[in-house]
Amino acid sequence: MQMNDGSRDLRGRTGKGLATRGRILEHAADLIYTRGVHATNNELVRRSAGISGSQLSHYFPNKESLVRAVIDWQAESVLGFHRSERFAGFETIEAYQEWADFYVVSGRPFENGCSLGSLASEIVKTDLDVRDDLTRVFAEWQDIFRAGLERMQDAGRLDASADPAQLAHMLIAAYQGGSLLAQIARDVAPLRDALYAAVENLRAYTTSDDVART
């Protein structure tokens, strides 16, 4: 994905420099999540990451550049996972089922909610000019699903009446809403029900060719 974090060009950075930058982003993301954007200041980030004020300003000259970088840092993790080989481009109904199963059965996903969604819900309330960054990230996430569904449709494994963009929105909305409700209830059931209902809705559009293949 194209980075737009407002920080300085990463080309030519040393391994140590990249590690320092990554540590700053990790701690800043955690602080924003637990304390909020407004309460996360340079001093808190500096102390949490164990760096000097000059180091922080060197990598991120202002708060907006830091927040933009945190968005991209979180997005790289979430989008990279969805682009991994385990889902093979989301071109079969089984890939979507495996995706849902992962969040339902792995660990305790309801404890912290979706890292990217939680970050977005906090940042979107601020007056920082980063809404376009969030829109771009979620559009890229949607496009992963949409592209896979379109390939299924082109191959005759998804009914022509299906709307890939609409189905992609549904999958992300099920995950985001289910994660929030599960986090509130401290119970995976809302997330499980939302994700499995979304997959079953998608399954209703699959053709016999896809059923045979899976």
When divided into structural domains, the chain yields a total of 2
Question: Tell me, what CATH number does 112's domain have?
Answer: 1.10.357.10
Q: Which of 72, 96, 210, 193 is nearest to 148 (CA)?
A: 96
Q: What is the mean pLDDT of residues 191-197?
A: 96
Residue 5 lies in a domain: no
Are 86 and 191 within one domain? yes
Question: Tell me, what CATH number does 44's domain have?
Answer: 1.10.10.60
Residue 6 lies in a domain: no
Structural domain of 24: 15-61
Whole-angstrom distance between the N-terminal and C-terminal Cα of the chain? 30
Per DSSP, 89 falls in state G
pTM beyond 0.75, yes or no: yes
85-132 pLDDT per residue, tens = 999 999 999 999 999 999 998 755 566 677 788 778 877 777 778 888
Q: Which of 75, 74, 101, 67 is nearest to 87 (CA)?
A: 101
Are 96 and 185 within one domain? yes
Residue 55 lies in a domain: yes
